[in-house]
């Protein structure tokens, strides 16, 4: 279950990261420039290289803010009767935390619908559950157990895609034309498959 959960959510996040980069050519160019500068003349990316990819980490954080792979996190159960914001919550009630909505709440985020990785240069919100305005993997004892595995998959795969290839939208499409409709289930996947054309830049 750990590997399946980590693989599924990582694949979903990777698809959204590429979608947002294709819709935002400035961000795509900046991320590719960093990856190609750090990995200059290397044949492949290693785990050791990833710590030097500062902007790539910002891209991933921003992707997870807008598109948390599990939008409602894992269900919780209320252990004792309580009152939250004037609402009575009985013991045993199932509680769902809407991480998707929290990540787009203008009370916490400036221009929340815009894809701006640079926002995390000033905002130290951490995805490990210590900041409740940003918790794509949950928080506390019930935080996603596959978080580290999933993040490593996303970082390595995204860095490889940006290093080895340039990416083009289908003929006739411009940046901003990409359909970003989500389909909500256990994971929030793209409704339509992402179809793009790779152009080899650094041979694999």
For the stretch 40-48, contacts whose Cβ atoms lie closer than 8 Å and that sit 24 or more positions apart, written own/partner, are 44/160, 44/204, 45/156, 45/159, 45/160, 45/163, 47/152, 47/156
Distance separating alpha carbons of residues 146 and 123, to the nearest angstrom: 24
Q: How many CA atoms lie within 13 A of 132 on its CB side?
A: 3
Distance separating alpha carbons of residues 127 and 138, to the nearest angstrom: 8
Q: What is the pLDDT of residues 139-158, one digit of tens each?
A: 877 787 778 888 888 999 99
Q: 181 in helix, strand or coil?
A: coil
Between 147-164 and 54-66, two packed helices, what is the crossing angle to 10 degrees?
A: 120
Average of pLDDT values for 10-26? 94
Q: What is the pLDDT of residues 88-106, one digit of tens each?
A: 999 999 998 899 999 999 9
pLDDT(118) > 60: yes
Whether residue 144 is annotated as binding a ligand: the answer is: yes
Q: How many CA atoms lie within 13 A of 13 on its CB side?
A: 32
| Two structure tokens written together for 64 | 């997870």
Distance separating alpha carbons of residues 113 and 115, to the nearest angstrom: 7
Q: What domains are there in the chain, each with its CATH number? A: 2-69+112-125+143-200 (1.10.630.10)
Distances (CA, A) of 172 to 102, 164, 178, 193: 35, 24, 11, 17
pTM recorded for the entire structure: 0.90
Q: What is the pLDDT of residues 63-80, one digit of tens each?
A: 999 999 888 888 889 999
Q: Which residues pair with 197 in a beta bridge?
A: 168
Asked whether 178 and 169 are in contact (CB, 8 A), the reply is yes
Question: What local confidence, expressed as pLDDT, does residue 4 receive?
Answer: 53
């Amino acid at each position: 279950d750990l590997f399946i959960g980590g693989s599924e959510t990582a694949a979903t996040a990777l698809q959204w990261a590429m979608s947002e980069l294709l819709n935002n050519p400035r961000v795509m160019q900046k991320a590719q420039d960093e990856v190609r500068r750090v990995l200059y003349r290397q044949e492949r990316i290693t785990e050791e290289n990833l710590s030097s990819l500062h902007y790539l980490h910002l891209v991933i954080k921003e992707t997870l803010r807008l598109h948390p792979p599990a939008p409602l996190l894992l269900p919780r159960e209320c252990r004792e009767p309580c009152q939250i914001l004037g609402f009575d919550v009985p013991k045993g009630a199932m509680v769902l935390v809407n991480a998707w909505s929290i990540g787009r709440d203008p009370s916490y985020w400036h221009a929340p619908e815009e894809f701006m990785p640079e926002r995390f240069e000033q905002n130290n919100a951490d995805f490990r559950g210590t900041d409740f305005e940003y918790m794509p993997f949950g928080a506390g004892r019930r935080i996603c157990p596959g978080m580290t595995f999933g993040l490593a998959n996303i970082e390595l795969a995204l860095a490889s895609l940006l290093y080895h290839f340039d990416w083009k939208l289908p003929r006739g499409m411009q940046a901003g034309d990409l359909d970003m409709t989500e389909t909500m289930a256990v994971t929030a996947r793209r409704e339509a498959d992402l179809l793009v054309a790779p152009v080899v830049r650094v041979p694999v």
